[in-house]
Structure 1
């Protein structure tokens, strides 16, 4: 029994030494010098933003060089410009409408009788809320849409992880602003007709989730500046 006890103490001493050696004298629970996961995500998001800007600048240089002497006809150039506009890689100008969604106050309570007190999930913007707005704006005839400062294209995916939006490699926190170029009247009508948004409005009225729709007048959406390579799955042989 004494031998077993001695072995246990020896093992405990080894664990404490290993922990100390790993920490190098820092508090591994609270030391500010240790990079938190959220900080790493934000850092990578900023890096992706800088890379997007550099990629856009290089693309502009390539297009300028190609336009000098590409051997194409005027009709072919017009067709290419139309395809680029539809693909979302060029700037888009026109009448615009913006929708802003935001979390409710953390101490929110039910404002109307007959509704339960809110769970934490009731007070934050979810992925389906953003998707509902984007889908409704497309349904209303939007010619182009940007979420925050990024243009959406056919391969864009609006995803939320916890209380943050991850879009094309970059991370955003609420409030979330979605801007669409199109007929403002038709866009508003499409928002009002969406069953998903009608459900969201219940939470706006009862728990105070943020909802603001504004006509922006003439606006310019940026062209998509990220990669346009398609990634797809292939069946296994």
Structure 2
């Protein structure tokens, strides 16, 4: 008779079989629990395609459109206020002149004149390095915040009387911010190409662009990888006044 430890039905193998059965039962129980939990959560809907679960990009687009509508409403109200301000309110000519000068400096009134526009764009999707340059990294092929800011700063430096990015007038509190290659400006979202327009002396504005070291660095990437860069000199152009809120918002400590 053979030793029981060597038998197929020996104690060691029997214990292993019971362990496998117990583990299998535990796995099935856990799977059942997951299915029940998922069913209770979904309640008959598809968790992956539920329309209530908006993608972040959809939410951003929705908020941008809403902000655009609010800006249009604010512009209409500002027009009504300006019309009322034209009435005789007892102010002197000197006071009226001072108010107009403040409005002009604040950028809340439209401005016209000769202008220069600059258009920046990402490199083509299939862009490769031109001879003599290293192969590009993803960040080398898109417009960055510092590129747009360099153009805006140079135009102000060149004596611009007003600057507009895309369809929005800039004021002293405007912030040009980019997330990836998406521009977020005063609550609205834009994709490239980006157009910046400045009213002023075209010669001075173009010289300021040429003199900017930050723009000279950007032009290296234009030459190396095909980023978009176009400067146009325009005749009379009218930039709309800023129509958004002028209130300052800041964080406050929690009491």
TM-score (norm 2): 0.85
Cα displacement string for residues 45-101 of structure 1 (whole angstroms, at most 9, x for unaligned residues): 011001000011111112322332322112211110111011000001111100000
- Deviations 1:136-180, CA, capped at 9 Å, x for gaps: 001111111000000000000000011210000000000000000
Give the counterpart of 1:14 among 12, 27, 33.
33
Say whether residues 1:100 and 2:119 are aligned partners: yes
1:135 corresponds in structure 2 to 153
Paired residue total: 234
1: CA distance between counterparts of 2:134 and 2:207?
Answer: 30
Match of 2:77 among 49, 58, 81: 58
Q: Which residue of 1 aligns with 2:5?
A: none
Measured in 2, the distance between the counterparts of 1:32 and 1:124 equals: 33
Match of 2:89 in 1: 70
Aligned to 1:26: 46
In structure 1, runs of 5+ residues without a counterpart are none
Once the two structures are superposed, the pairs formed by residues 196-207 of structure 1 within 5 Å of their partners are 196-207=214-225
In 1: Cα distance, 2:26 partner to 2:77 partner: 64
Question: Quick check: which has more Rg, 1 or 2?
Answer: 2
Which of 142, 150, 156 is equivalent to 2:168?
150
User: Match for residue 123 of structure 1?
Assistant: 141
Which one of the candidate residues 85, 88, 104 is aligned to 2:104?
85
Give me the TM-score of the superposition, normalised by structure 1. 0.91
Aligned residue for 1:197, secondary structure, equals: helix
Corresponding residue for 2:7?
none
2:212 matched residue in structure 1: 194
User: Matches of 1:112 and 1:198 in 2, distance apart?
Assistant: 19
Aligned residues: CA RMSD: 2.1
Partners of 1:79 and 1:176 in 2: CA distance: 35
Cα 1:93/1:231, change in 2 over 3 Å: same
Deviation at 1:32, TM superposition (A): 8.0
Give the secondary-structure state (helix, strand or coil) at the position aligned to 2:195. Answer: strand
SS for the counterpart of 1:93 is strand
